[in-house]
Structure 1
Amino acid sequence: MLEVINGFLMIYFIILCSISALVPHLVKPIIVCFIRPSNEERTAWTEIQKLKSMQKTISMKEEFAAYSKIQRRINKLETQLKDDSQSRMSKSFAIKSSVQIVFQVVVALLMIVSVIWFRQEPIVALKGDLFPLTTFLRYPSSMPNAISTHMWVIISNFSIRTLLKPVLS
C-alpha cells in the first residue's frame, strides 16, 4: 500500500511534529528549577512552624499576652509568606509562558525551513491511484501518487496530536 521513498525525512518530520505537540509537557521540568521557594520563604516557613509549636505549649487562658504576641508574629509571617509565594507564582507563569513560546517558535521555524528546503522531496508513494487527491497530495513534487513534504507534515501533525490527546490530557 505504501512505499517509503525518503525514510530519513519521514522520521525527521515525525520527530518534529512530536516535539511540537509535547512542548507544553517538556517545559514543565524546566520551569520547576525556577519556581522553587526562596531562602526567605523557607526561613519564614520554619519560623512559623517553630512559633506554632511554641504556641501549643502556652496556655491561652493563663498567658494570653504571650499567646497573642506569638499569634501576631505568626499572622505577620504568614502574610509575608503568602505575598512571596504569589510573586513567585506570577514569575513562574511569566517564565513558563516565555519558555513555551520560545520552544514553539524554534520548532515552528525549524519545521517551516525544513518544509521549504525539502519541498520537492516526496516522502511516501502510494501503490493505488487516488485520482481526485493525487495532485493535491504530491504538490509540488512531480512523482505520481506521492505524498509531498507539505502534506506529510500536515498528516503527521494531525495524527500525532490526535493520538497524544488522550494520553496527555
Structure 2
Amino acid sequence: MFLLIITTLLSFISVHSTVLGKQVLKWINKPSIKEKELMTQKNELKKVQNSISITDNFAKYSKIQRQINKIDENLSDFRSEKNNLYIHFGLTYGLQIFFAIVLVGLSIYYRSTPVIAIDKSIDLTPFSYLISYPHSENVVSFHFWVLCSSTTARLIKL
C-alpha cells in the first residue's frame, strides 16, 4: 500500500512539477520592501505629474519625469537580479529531472516487488504478462503502475 501511494504521488508531482516551479518562482520574485517603496514613490510622482499641465509647466513636468525614469532604472536593476534565466529553467526543468531520476531509481530498487496483488478470479489474459512483467500473473508491477499513474497525471490538467 505504501508503494502504491508513493509512486502515485511522485508520478503526479513529476508530471505537474511546472505548476510547483511557478509557485516557487512567484515566491522568489516577490517584490522586496525597497521595491515596494520605489513603486509607491513612482505612483505618487505619477499622480503629481498628471495634475500638472505639460504645456504650462514643462520644466516641472520634465523634472518629475526624470525622477520617474531614475526610479524605473532602479526597479529594472532589482528585477534583472531576480529574473535570472538559470533560476527559471533550473526550477522548471530541474524539478522534472529530479523526480524522473527518483522514479527511475525506485523502479530499479523495487523491480522485484509487486505494487498490487489481484485476485485470481480476475483474469487479465491478453495483458497479464505486460501488467506483471517480472512477476507471476495477477500482480501489478512497479513499472506498469508508474506508467499508468504518469499517463493519468498527464491527462489531468491543473
Tell me the TM-score normalized by structure 2: 0.78
CA distance in 2, matches of 1:23, 1:58: 50
Give the alignment of 1:153-168 within 5 angstroms: 153-162=146-155, 164-165=156-157, 168=158
Please tell me whether the aligned partners of residues 123 and 148 of structure 1 are also in contact (alpha carbons under 8 angstroms). Answer: yes
CA distance in 1, matches of 2:149, 2:54: 68
* Structure 2 residue ranges without an equivalent (≥5): none
CA distance in 2, matches of 1:59, 1:109: 63
**Greater shift after overlay, 12-21 or 119-128?**
119-128
Tell me the TM-score normalized by structure 1: 0.74
Please tell me whether the aligned partners of residues 45 and 81 of structure 1 are also in contact (alpha carbons under 8 angstroms). Answer: no
Query: What is the one-letter code of the residue matched to 1:155?
Result: C
Query: What is the one-letter code of the residue matched to 2:28?
Result: F
CA distance in 1, matches of 2:3, 2:53: 75
Q: Number of matched residues?
A: 156
CA RMSD of aligned residues (A): 2.6
Query: What is the one-letter code of the residue matched to 1:95?
Result: I
Aligned residues with identical type, % of pairs: 32
Query: What is the one-letter code of the residue matched to 2:140?
Result: I
State the match for 2:102 in structure 1.
110
CA 1:73–1:131: 2 relative to 1, 3 Å: same
State the match for 2:29 in structure 1.
35
CA displacement 1:94-151 (0-9 Å, x = unmatched): 323212333222222221121111112222325333333222221111x223221111
CA distance in 1, matches of 2:59, 2:34: 28
State the match for 2:88 in structure 1.
96
